[in-house]
Amino acid sequence: MKTTLTLALSSCLGVALLTTQPAHGADPIPTPDAAPPCGKLVGTNAAGGFALRSGEPVDFVSAGQATHGTLLVFSDGPVFRAYWQPEGSEEKYALANAGPDSVRLVSTPPQGTPTRGAQPGVATQPLQVLSCPKL
């Protein structure tokens, strides 16, 4: 089943919970993601990790080509949704959870309200991309 990567934060407990929820139009029957990675989302630091916050520079690397882009984070109450936007494009791709350290890039309009500042700011390692858009 396709899911959207969401991050729920509890301000009372100071805890961040990474959860998934069905993506719009998701398959009703869960199926394991067995697709090999076709790319990777990497930060611009030496380790390649990045923080989940709006404005964070993140590159999509596929077939030896890097496409520069930016993360956009939207919130809907305590739920955060992360999107990647290629530089110079209006298109936005949701980071749909596809397993440990893996996502699918799904072209979809953002849901929620744009976050301000460094919210949520949770650090992640580079992410394998299992469905690569043609850029």
Is 17 a domain residue? yes
Structural domain including 68 reads 3-22+37-129
Is 28 a domain residue? no
What is the C-alpha end-to-end distance of the chain, expressed in Å? 25
What DSSP state is assigned to residue 90? Answer: -
Taking only the tens place, the pLDDT of each residue in 64-117 is: 899 999 999 999 988 999 999 999 999 999 999 998 899 999 999 999 999 987
Tell me the pLDDT of the chain averaged across its residues: 80
Is 135 a domain residue? no
Number of domains in the chain: 1
Is 31 a domain residue? no
Q: Which long-range contacts (CB under 8 A, 24 or more apart) does 12-16 make?
A: 16/120, 16/122
Is 9 a domain residue? yes
Q: In this structure, are residues 75 and 54 in contact, taking their beta carbons and an 8 Å threshold?
A: no
Is 76 a domain residue? yes
Is 81 a domain residue? yes
Is 30 a domain residue? no
What Å distances lie between residue 12 and 9, 15, 59, 89, CA to CA?
A: 9, 8, 34, 38
Taking only the tens place, the pLDDT of each residue in 73-84 is: 999 988 999 999
